[in-house]
Amino acid sequence: MIKRIGFISTRIAGTDGVTLETKKWAEVLKRNGYELFYLAGELDVDDSCCMQEELFHFKHPEILEIQNFCFGRKTRPVEVTEKIHSIKEKLKKTIQKFIKKFDIDLIIPENVLAIPLNIPLGLALTEYIAETGIPTIAHHHDFYWERERFLVTSCLDYLSMAFPPLLNGITNVVINTLALQQVTYRKGMSAVLIPNVYDYETPPSPLDEYGLSLREKLGFSEDDLFILQPTRIVPRKQIEKAIDLVALMKLRRPALVISHSKGDEGDDYFYRILWYAEKAGVELIFIEDLIEEERDESKGTYTLWDVYKNADLITYPSGYEGFGNAFLEAVYFKKLIFLNRYSIYIADLEPLGFDVVAFEGFVTQNVVENIYRYLKSPALLENAVEKNYSLARKNFSYEVLERRLIPLVESYNA
């Protein structure tokens, strides 16, 4: 009987997409009576129900060293192979210890068997599952073949073996229809589609006085537009398209607020958008240091939800997304959305009829005029955001997750 479930990942902390979706799954599982435990390289959960091992983290120096030899080249030194297997054995012992300590009945690897940010961890998990047959629901958010930086590799043997592995007893879960097609085509394995979700049954609370103080802190007057880019600063987010939009809008204060950090893909893109914004005459306002998981008025910090509530317009010009957490969040907070028609949006979201300002490839004056059409008509804007909320509630709520996930867990009791 499945009662105790263990989440395993490189990181379960912060506001990255994998962490957010992990916590949503955890919330749904918990309200259905399951006990939950966590194993990762970085954690922000209660110490009593988790184990932390630094080598699980994709930013650990030894893991980063391995990555440098595994991608961007076609052969790897024998010393790297030996190091991969040495670390793999350490990680496998940690997995064994975790499962024994908390008496785990079923594990949920979160993206670690999909994207090869920590190759020894993927191998360790694959071997452990093959050797023990432990019930496993592998939650795949994005695959290596979806990222250009993983296409040239000296570790195709490991990618074929463990990202994801073809093993009996694993239920593979993907988050979009294109991934469902590709994992079948490339790996010859079946998968279940469970999209990203949000708690649409619990509407957001109104913006309070402290939350409203963020606008003043950032120097916005009552008449200024608060335009928010709610993503990390990485190339696939195409933030320069949001800068183009702000420049074309001819605002009194042309500014773009960016909520998240530079991420894990180097500094080059960060400096690129700094230069680009300067040339375009757009002020970039970075507020990562003002955002915490819980607001602290004594420190002057806010939650990401406070930021969303203050925004007048959400920019989401990504070239690629595994699904689109920021899209679901913008819909939840009933905000006007400006977005690029990325592939998953075209396949899984657009057919549902969401009312957004979309562009393809580059920003035109027509796009700007369309945005102003909404902003200048409160009735038109309200109709759009209410329609979007209703569609998301029907298709991407916690109840949708519950209907799809709980039967997968219970299937191991048969």
Residue range 246-256, pLDDT digits in tens: 999 999 999 99
Tell me the residue type at 298: S
35-40 and 4-8 beta bridge pairing: parallel
Going by C-alpha positions, the residue among 184, 95, 175 that lies closest to residue 136 is 95
- Structural tokens at position 281: 């005459």
> CA neighbours within 13 Å on the CB side: how many for 232?
16
Confidence of residue 267 (pLDDT cuts 50, 70, 90): confident
> What's the chain's average pLDDT?
95
Residue 114 has pLDDT above 70, yes or no: yes
Region 144-159: what's the mean pLDDT? 94
- Note whether 236 and 209 are within 8 A (CB): no
- Note whether 43 and 13 are within 8 A (CB): yes
CATH for 209-395, options being 3.40.50.2000, 3.40.50.2300, 3.40.50.300, 1.10.357.10: 3.40.50.2000
Residue 263 has a pLDDT of: 63
- Structural tokens at position 14: 């912060």
Q: What is the pTM of this model?
A: 0.91
Residue 264 has a pLDDT of: 59
Helix (H) or strand (E) holding 204: none
Q: Enumerate the β-bridge partners of residue 172.
A: 138
SS3 content of the chain, % helix, strand, coil (to 5): 50, 15, 35
Same fold, 4-197+398-413 and 209-395: yes
Region 190-216: what's the mean pLDDT? 95
- Structural tokens at position 260: 């998240």
Per-residue CA distances from 111 to 40, 116, 119, 121, 169 (Å):
12, 9, 12, 11, 17
Fold of domain 4-197+398-413 = Rossmann fold (3.40.50)
Tell me the residue type at 170: I
Which stretches of 274-385 are assigned E, i.e. beta strand?
Answer: 283-286, 313-316, 336-340, 357-359
Tens of pLDDT, residue by residue over 155-197, are 999 999 999 999 988 999 999 999 999 999 999 999 999 999 9
Domain parsing of the chain, residue ranges: 4-197+398-413, 209-395
Q: Check residue 289 and report its DSSP letter.
A: G
Region 4-29: what's the mean pLDDT? 94
d(CA 301, CA 356): 30
Preceding amide of 203 cis, omega within 30: no
Is residue 139 classed as helix, strand or coil in its secondary structure? strand
Confidence of residue 364 (pLDDT cuts 50, 70, 90): very high
Residue 119 has pLDDT above 80, yes or no: yes
Per-residue CA distances from 14 to 5, 18, 111, 324 (Å):
21, 10, 16, 17
d(CA 193, CA 329): 20
Q: Enumerate the β-bridge partners of residue 170.
A: 136
- Note whether 20 and 9 are within 8 A (CB): no
Tens of pLDDT, residue by residue over 271-328, are 999 999 999 999 999 999 999 888 999 999 999 999 999 999 999 999 988 888 899 9
d(CA 246, CA 256): 7
The fraction of the chain above a pLDDT of 90, given in percent, is 92
Residue 250 has a pLDDT of: 95
Confidence of residue 260 (pLDDT cuts 50, 70, 90): confident
The arrangement of strands across the sheet holding 106-109 comes to: 50-52, 35-40, 4-8, 106-109, 136-140, 170-174, 192-193
- Note whether 104 and 98 are within 8 A (CB): yes
d(CA 57, CA 87): 12
